[in-house]
Amino acid sequence: MKPEHPPVLTGKCAKQFVERVESAPSKKNIEVFREAERVHKAIKEIK
Amino acid sequence: MSLDKVKPEELSFRVLQQSDDLTEFDCSLNDSMGLNEFIRREALDYQREKLGVTYLFYYRNEVVGFATLAMSGIEIKEAPYLLSIILPSKIRIRDYPALLIGRLGTRNDFRDRHVGQNICLWCLSTAAELCKKIGCKLVIVLTEGETAKFYGKVGFEIFPRYEKRDRKWMYLKIP
């Protein structure tokens, strides 16, 4: 399977993307990463 | 019949090794992204070439899923005058460093049991840890069909201009 290159953004798409990324994180965004941290701690590494 | 959800506490992980035999591992349902082929034939080569590290996830000593992670980035072209208005620091960012979830697969008989979701969340937390050490603003993933819905539920957004495409690049910013 060929790897696909990630997006290169130009013009309005770039503006739209940067506006979204640079805006304050949403409550959902914060909650997802809080849950992610909990899950990460729970899944133990096999050594 | 609905099977019990697999809790994160019931999973464990380790990095893919040369000795791992994954010929019996099957995640072929809705496998338009070629996950089976990747994990059976290509994942080790990617790892040897330092293009992506594959993590295997275990439930009761059996591999039930995997994720391959790599560094990546989103390139911004042509709009510096717009971006300098948006960013308070006036820094003109041309590249957004990102962690790429290159592949994420769940064994067929463990679908709909939260294994994929747990692995995805594990990847997000790995990205959050990375961003403290080397700089990483996003998690990105290439999706198709049902997988776009899966990542959408987690909170990923579709990149502008990819909304109507079959294969959609999606991102989630690290807060």
Q: How far, in Å, CA of B141 to CA of B101, rounded?
A: 5
Residue B154 — φ and ψ, nearest 5°? -70, -25
The answer to whether the Cβ–Cβ distance between B175 and A30 falls below 8 Å is yes
pLDDT tens-digit map of B78-104 = 665 555 555 666 666 778 999 999 999
Answer yes or no: do B33 and A1 touch at CB < 8 A: yes
The reply to whether the predicted model has a pTM over 0.80 is yes
| CA diameter of chain B | 56
Mean pLDDT score, B154-168: 94
Examine the pLDDT at A44 and tell me if it is beyond 70: yes
The verdict on residue B1 lying in a domain is no
pLDDT digits (tens, 9 = 90+) for A4-37: 789 999 888 888 898 898 889 999 999 999 999 9
CB contact under 8 Å between B157 and A20, yes or no, is: yes
CA distance B33 to B104: 10
- CATH number at B62 reads 3.40.630.30
What is the tens place of the pLDDT at every residue in B47-81?
999 999 999 999 999 999 999 999 999 998 866 55
Q: What pLDDT shows up at residue A22?
A: 84
Phi, psi (deg, nearest 5) at residue A14: -60, -45
- Tokens at residue B14, please? 């380790």
Q: Can you give the pLDDT at residue B86?
A: 59
Question: Residues in chain A whose beta carbon is closer than 8 A to a beta carbon of chain B?
Answer: 1, 3-4, 6-22, 25, 28-30, 32-33, 35-40, 42-47
